[in-house]
Amino acid sequence: MTLSSPVLPASSPDDDCRFVRLSPETLQLVADFFKVLSESSRLQIVCALKTGQKNVTEIIEATGLGQANVSKHLKILAQAGIVNRQQQGVCVYYQIASGFVFELCELVCDSLSAQIQQQSEKIARLEAFRQA
């Protein structure tokens, strides 16, 4: 199951460039998904849920964010399919819908680390050159 859904074009086997042919509408969907993850408050909430489901109050305590704020962000995360909502009596519990989010975040972390590593090596070389 990759890109065989009705709205996303199918990829041919000998084509490693399927992302190039995506329509503007599909790109907008992808961009919208990235936008959900482009707010540190929402990433904080996602992190707080990594160890298991939490209700809203527990999320508020874990993140230090305001109640209305958390509620708003949870709605956005739920609409994006990143978290699931489950009512249990008075409380509403939220949990990560798929570990996929963490895959994404760790890929970005790795990339950022590599980038920073490269930059510091470049600076070190420049420094060595300046000394000589």
Partner DNA sequence: TTTGTTTATTACCGATTAGTAGTATAACAA
Partner DNA sequence: TTGTTATACTACTAATCGGTAATAAACAAA
- ∠ CA 81-35-69, nearest 5°, is 75
Q: Which stretch binds DNA (CB under 7 A): 1-9, 15-23, 49-57, 113-121?
A: 49-57
Among 66, 112, 117, 124, binds DNA (CB under 7 A): 66
Q: Footprint of a copy of itself on this chain (CB under 8 A)? A: 1-8, 17-20, 22, 24, 26-35, 37-40, 42-44, 47, 50-51, 81, 98, 100, 102-117, 120
User: Which residues inside 88-127 make contact with DNA, applying CB under 7 A?
Assistant: 89-93
Which one, 8 or 43, has the nearer CB to DNA? 43
Can you tell me the distance from the alpha carbon of 35 to that of 106, in angstroms, rounded to the nearest whole number?
17
Q: How many CB atoms are closer than 10 A to CB 113?
A: 10
Residue 21, both tokens: 């042919």
| Residue 29 partner contact from a copy of itself, DNA, none using kind-dependent CB cut-offs of 5 to 8 Å | a copy of itself
CA 112 remoteness from chain centre: 14
Spatial CA neighbour of 61 closest among 73, 44, 76: 44
Give whichever of 109 and 126 is closer to a copy of itself, judged by the CB atom: 109
